[in-house]
Amino acid sequence: MRDTLLLNADGTPLSVAPLSTLTWQESIKLVWLDRINVLEWHQDWQVHSPNHTMTVPSVIMTRDFVKQRVNTSFNRSNVYLRDNYICQYCKQMFSYKDLTLDHVIPKSKGGILTWKNTVTACRKCNNQKANHTNIKPYRIPKQPDFYELVNGINPAHIDHDIWFKYIKLENAKRA
């Protein structure tokens, strides 16, 4: 369960795949130790101890800027984000569980697993393409930067509406 969104000191998420979140217990501990700034609270969620009652934070921000890597990690989740969960052959949107990764140049023909040779494909299209090279994806694959991945976040993975205020998504609405 994702309970608290964690932002860097510049207001951007520390990571997008997965989205940087903390459990409510971790966020309460950071508030108690006065190590972060709270931007938003869950108005209807409080936790109690024998001596204290505390509202659970919804959005927190680091006080010091955490330098992020310039390049993005190559992994399945990030490829899906880059391609916006859209099959690069039939152009239909799918859920995470219905997608596969496809080598544009198949491994059997010397293709390797890289940003520039891997695309999101639905199972049907991936099976139809098989090891052929005559079927091309509708968008040429490339390595995305951090902000391109942020724009690929699936709004269904955002647990609380208030988080939309801090995550800049193009044309995003809660699913």
Instruction: Give the model confidence (pLDDT) of 15-25 as tens digits.
Output: 776 778 899 99
H-state helical runs in 11-167:
24-32, 76-82, 123-129, 146-150
Q: Are residues 161 and 122 in the same domain?
A: no
Half-sphere exposure of 145 (CA within 13 A, CB side): 2
Q: Is the pTM of this model over 0.75?
A: no
Identify the CA nearest to 107 among candidates 137, 131, 143, 75.
131
Q: Are residues 140 and 160 part of one domain? A: no
Same domain, 31 and 91: no
Domain region containing 86: 76-144
pLDDT of residue 3: 86
Average pLDDT rounded to a whole number, residues 67-73? 76
Pairwise CA distance, residues 161 & 15, whole Å: 18
- The answer to whether residue 174 sits within a structural domain is no
Where residue 136 sits, what CATH number does that domain have? 1.10.30.50
Amino acid at site 7: L
Residue 172 covered by a domain: no
